[in-house]
Amino acid sequence: MVCFFLFVPAMYPPVMAPQANMFGNVPGYEGTVPGGGGFLPPPMPMEPVAPPQPAPENPEWSIPSLSEDAAREALKEFVSSHCCYGDAPVTQGVITSMEPFNTFRYRLETFTESRSTDWAHKPHEGETADFYTQPAPRPWEVQATPPKLFSDHTEKIRVPYTSSVKQCHTCNAAGTEQCKECSGSGKKACLMCNGGAKSDPACTRCNGTGKDRCTKCNGSGKKQCETCKGKRQLLTYIELKVEWKNQVEDHLVEQSCGLKSDNLRSVKGKELFKSSQNLVYPLLGFPNPAVSQASERLIKEHQTNYGKTSRILQQRQTVELIPITQVNYKWKDKSYVYYVYGNERKVSADNYPETCCCVIL
């Protein structure tokens, strides 16, 4: 009787994958796994909630009207910034009317700090392995210096007392790995004969062998291990990633002039109100109800969205009055319109009458 045996090849992890037992368990970091342990919920805030904030008592709501000269100068600058636009409508056009459509912008900024952990490693260069020499500080106990308020910044910190020395998992502590360019042979196809191995006449570069020395590994078939940089050992540790981010959200009160709201996001207006606290409270009794409603809605959303996964360090709310002027003018017996908006006096003129197509030869 003939017996047949089916051989199933053993399943090994990829060469580049760290071994499952490479990382240890650290009290307080049990959820940290290679690839990241997710965002860590912050401790409960110690600061009391801010009291209600009334609207500004006696603000100056008015904005000086735009003069015809200023409106024409703004259009002139706009046209000069477009190489295909002619200036005849600017010099010959007649302004027939100007109408203000000033609008409010409410802005809420929430400055947050979030923390996440991951196992990391680097070539061991003589650093002391301090794993278990003392209890490791908890993620939110590790000291980190925040940047300037309301500015984004990321910092990566090696958590104290989590470092240990392991053999390199990529090269099995050899310090070298197979050259990928030549697959470990030390040879590559000759560049002159393209590996043809011609013998009549023989290639002057490879002497008819069709092979040339691999320049990446200098013919050895091996290269320095990219993971351990030839050190053979790795320092493994828990890496704490601290991210400070300014979460910004705007609400523009609807205006009926027809100017697209996206145009207003890049301009500034007259600042009517600004308040900064650990936690701000919705504005009460603002003359425009839409501003009060936006304040209440955005503050609630920010505290719900960011309070669970990050620590809110500071909030700031601002109300601006953005100047918008609709300018109606005539040129060649036809009526046109453009808008001048923002402190910068930017212009939107979608139906500017004198444009042409430029062809660059």
- Is 211 within 8 Å of 190 (Cβ atoms)? yes
DSSP per-residue letters across 157-169: EEPTT--EEEE-T
- The confidence score (pLDDT) of residue 3 equals 42
d(CA 320, CA 268): 8
Domain boundaries, the chain: 68-109+246-348
Strands (E), the chain: 53-54, 94-100, 103-123, 153-158, 164-167, 176-178, 187-189, 211-213, 222-224, 233-252, 270-277, 283-284, 311-322, 324-331, 334-341, 346-348
Cα–Cα distances in Å, from 231 out to 22, 116, 123? 17, 29, 6
Question: How far is it, in rounded angstroms, from Cα 172 to Cα 108?
Answer: 53
Nearest alpha-carbon partner for 347 in 330, 324, 331, 321: 324
Specify whether the CB–CB gap between 254 and 264 falls below 8 A: no
How far apart CA 164 and CA 237 sit, in angstroms, is: 7
The pair of structure tokens assigned to 131 is 């794993």
| Mean model confidence pLDDT for the chain | 84
Which of 178, 196, 186 lies closest to 219 in space, CA to CA?
186
Average pLDDT on 165-172 reads 93
Residue 248: its pLDDT value, please? 96
Report the C-alpha gap between 264 and 252 in whole angstroms: 8
Task: Report pLDDT digits (tens) over 268-327.
Answer: 999 999 999 999 999 888 888 999 999 999 999 999 999 888 999 999 999 999 999 999
Residue 32 pLDDT level (bands cut at 50, 70, 90): confident
Beta strands 233-252 and 164-167, pairing class: antiparallel
Q: How far is residue 179 from each of residues 188, 189, 226, measured CA to CA in Å?
A: 11, 15, 11
> What's the CA gap between 269 and 100, in Å, rounded?
14
- Output the six-digit token pair for 342: 């923002």
**How big is the chain, counted in residues?**
361
Q: Which two three-digit tokens encode residue 322?
A: 């953005």
The bridge status of strand 222-224 relative to strand 283-284 is unpaired
The predicted structure's pLDDT at residue 44: 64
Taking only Cα atoms into account, the Rg of the chain, rounded to an integer number of angstroms, comes to: 34
pLDDT digits (tens, 9 = 90+) for 229-258: 999 999 999 999 999 999 999 999 887 888
Banded model confidence at residue 109, pLDDT cuts 50, 70, 90: very high
User: Is there a contact between 228 and 123 (Cβ–Cβ < 8 Å)?
Assistant: yes
Model pTM?
0.76
